[in-house]
Amino acid sequence: MKHPDYAYEHLQRVGYDCHYDGIAQFVPVCPKCGRYVKADAKLTTDISGPVGTNATCSKCGRVTMPFEGYFDHADYGMAEP
C-alpha cells in the first residue's frame, strides 16, 4: 500500500551532502508500493533534485525515493563546506 503524504511525518530520512547546495533529503520508501527501500551510497543531483534512480525496492526494483528538498548544513549540525 502506498503511504499517504501525511504518513511521511514520522518516518526516518536519508540525507546526502551535496556540498554547497546543502543536504539533499529523501524519504526512504518506494513511490510505487510504499515499502522501505535500500538507499544508494551515492546519488546524482542537480538544482531541481535527484537525477535517475537512487534506491532499490525489494518488490519494484530500482526506484527514486520521494525528494523533500535541500536543507542547510546547520539544520544537520554540520559545518559549512
Using pLDDT thresholds of 50, 70 and 90, give the confidence band for residue 2: low
* Cell numbers for 9: 511525518
CA angle 32, 2, 21 (to 5 degrees): 65
Higher-confidence residue of 55 and 68: namely 55
Between β-strands 67-71 and 23-26, what pairing exists: parallel, antiparallel or unpaired? antiparallel
pTM across the whole model: 0.75
pLDDT grade for 39, boundaries at 50, 70 and 90 = very high
| 14-37 tens-digit pLDDT | 888 877 778 888 999 999 998 999
